[in-house]
Structure 1
């Protein structure tokens, strides 16, 4: 081989080496090297952890990524929402009824209570409560009536529940009817009571006088709710 031919081949090899170096430099941050189909395939096959709208991909149904925002409260800070205490539907089921009222409760301290035996309806007693105070009072629930030495008080006839609280102005009266015994004699455990204690929803009780002979009561004994009208009290 001649010296000229050797120099020519050396020059060609040097040129190839320089070209390779230039291509490598271009790949190290200045250009883009085509890796072939395998690189693109590897990139597209990777699962995407999240999407732009907050959804998730590549996870089983029912699993979500990230955190879920807590539901916003609809209550204004510093306020409390409460229901009405002791609505009319609950009156008479807990100690004579405890409906919400605007005035003091009528009781034995600010009223006078009388008990009157009436001829119609048969075997009925009329309780009358008169406001003796200087302010209005609310007569709520029904009379908690204890006749003689009875260990229990009679039930209330739910059908007599008034549509509104009975409010008594000074000097005004409210009423309740008492069915003492069955008119057809079907009641049992009858006895004659000579004393009566009437309790109210709140406050002091009253002890109205009964007729001197007393009143006959049996297990049909029932009271009505307090009424604004005497006729309503005796309608049961």
Structure 2
């Protein structure tokens, strides 16, 4: 072999070796696998993305709480006080066949279409009396709680017209005024009560009870007087 052939053969081998050594380097430096491309996948799960979802859930929870608050609104459960427009009022002798009209049962019936409350006791005025009839304090059946009347329900108060005291007088009218929720307050104008007889013979010993749903309970406070 001539020296020229040897040189050419060596050059060929060297070229082949150089080509083989360059192949891995070319793969590492390929545009398809550059390190700069790797964070693009990681960015889709950055903490920023998670944080943006958290307030959204919290806001939804707050909305739910507000909804519950509205559902429990106290106003929706409030029962209004009865007014004269809501009530049918009557007075009857007790017992019904008695000759004297000394013991009367006052009755108010809810003639409206909504439930309402009557409070404490009625302010009663018999005829031209200067003041209203005193109340029997012990007759409060439920420690100042109102009597709640659904449509058609009744409440009762017993009225002693004459208790055997001085200063008797004739009366041709009875009025009652409703209490509001606060004891000692008044609500609305006086209501005319239909007379059970033409003329009542009243005196300064007259008394009235608190409202109750049990007529017998109310009458027990005056029938012995």
TM-score bin, normalised by smaller chain: 0.5 to 0.7
Pick closer, same or farther for the CA change 1:105–1:204 going to 2, 3 Å: farther
Shift of 1:143: 0.9
**Deviation digits for residues 142-175 of structure 1, max 9, x if unmatched?**
1111111111001100000121421000011000
| Residue equivalent to 2:216 | 231
Equivalent runs, 1:61-100 vs 2, <5 Å: none
| Residue equivalent to 2:118 | 139
Distance in structure 2 (CA, Å) of the matches to 1:107 and 1:125 = 22
Distance in structure 1 (CA, Å) of the matches to 2:177 and 2:161 = 17
8 Å CA contact 2:162–2:206 kept in 1: the answer is yes
Q: Of Structure 1 and Structure 2, which has the larger fraction of its residues in helix?
A: 2
| Residue equivalent to 1:219 | 204
Distance in structure 1 (CA, Å) of the matches to 2:197 and 2:119 = 29
Shift of 1:205: 3.0
The answer for unaligned runs of 5 or more in structure 2 is: 1-76, 180-186
8 Å CA contact 1:142–1:224 kept in 2: the answer is yes
Pick closer, same or farther for the CA change 1:105–1:215 going to 2, 3 Å: same
Is residue 91 of structure 2 the alignment partner of residue 112 of structure 1? no
Distance in structure 2 (CA, Å) of the matches to 1:102 and 1:216 = 42
Secondary structure of the 2:159 match is strand
Count residues with an aligned counterpart: 133
Q: Of Structure 1 and Structure 2, which has the larger fraction of its residues in strand?
A: 2
TM-score when scaled to structure 2?
0.55
| Residue equivalent to 2:152 | 171
Out of 154, 166, 173, the position equivalent to 2:133 is: 154
Secondary structure of the 2:217 match is helix
TM-score when scaled to structure 1?
0.53
8 Å CA contact 1:107–1:204 kept in 2: the answer is no
Pick closer, same or farther for the CA change 1:158–1:191 going to 2, 3 Å: same
Structure 1 segments of 4+ aligned residues over 3 angstroms from their partners: none
Secondary structure of the 2:216 match is helix
8 Å CA contact 2:89–2:194 kept in 1: the answer is no
